[in-house]
Amino acid sequence: MVSMALKQGTNMSKTWFITGASTGLGRLLTERLLARKDRVVATVRRDGVLDELQSLHGERLLVLKLEITDATEIRERVEQAFSAMGRIDVVVSNAAYGLFGAAEELSDAQIDRQLATNLMGSIQLIRAVLPKLREQGGGRIVQVSSEGGQIAYPGFSLYHATKWGIEGFVEAVSQEVVPFGIDFIIVQPGPTRTNFSAALDNAPIMDCYAGTPADEVRRSITSGSFAAFGDAGKTVDAMVDAIDAEHPPLRLALGSSTYDKVGSALQQRLETLQSQRAVALSVMESA
């Protein structure tokens, strides 16, 4: 079951709520949607970053300042958005950033901020919008994850913890809210040419990690050879196409890196699981 606005097809204008809309995929998504005459509530952390879009699109764009780590503020902005727009068809949980460093290089403050932003911020946003979507008869929630929600690189342990964590949360909640006409899409872009690397929070380097796998990834990021990059515009177009679909997949893999690496990881996990069949069944109680 999906909301009535989504059931009526892609030709009908929609209203969106998008976090992290000042840069990257969030900014591009906001621009594409406004260009096709949809309405957007865009949240940002800094004043003025969407002034140009505001002047171009007027009342079809509502810009709200939001600190995604503040659960009270999230609820206030959600209330404000629904009050202003009357109805929101699609909620896009996009606000996030990368944290790089071997696990013991990371400070407690870095860890707390990463979890508060990428994981708890997304969880609290979803919790805040569910009652509103349920009351209006349905809607769609899009959680922006990454290939890092299914695979892992050395040096990104906390980033992966947030992405693997939010994917598990969404997979459970998506089953809970089926009766209310609410559905989910988890978007998994691979490395994409946005400001992700520029905004990366780096931990202080410990000499003992020189030459280790984490150090090798660090050097590849610095040199620009880390991975083949996807096109941000094409990524957003694919997202919009999937979101507009009546029956989208729960997970949407975008980019050759995601397709190849996630596919390989899933195959390896399946083979490992199948090799453990005998021992798995051996622990069951006798009939």
Q: Rounded distance, CA 205 to CA 274, Å?
A: 40
Can you tell me whether residue 139 is helix, strand or coil? strand
Q: How long, in residues, is the chain?
A: 287
Which residues fall within 8 angstroms of residue 65, CB to CB, at 6 or more apart? 43, 44, 45, 46, 47
Q: What is the CA radius of gyration of the chain?
A: 20
What 206-213 contacts at long range (C-beta under 8 Å, 24+ apart), as own/partner pairs, is 206/102, 206/104, 206/105, 209/102, 209/105, 212/102, 212/154, 213/154, 213/155
Catalytic residues, by residue number, are 22, 145, 159, 163
Q: Rounded distance, CA 149 to CA 170, Å?
A: 12
Q: Rounded distance, CA 261 to CA 271, Å?
A: 15
8 A C-beta contact, residue 49 and residue 31: no
Q: Rounded distance, CA 91 to CA 18, Å?
A: 6
Q: Please state the φ and ψ torsions of residue 103, each to the nearest 5 degrees.
A: -55, -40
Tokens of 237: 């177009």
Query: What separation in angstroms does the CA of 262 have from each of 213, 253, 268?
Result: 20, 9, 10
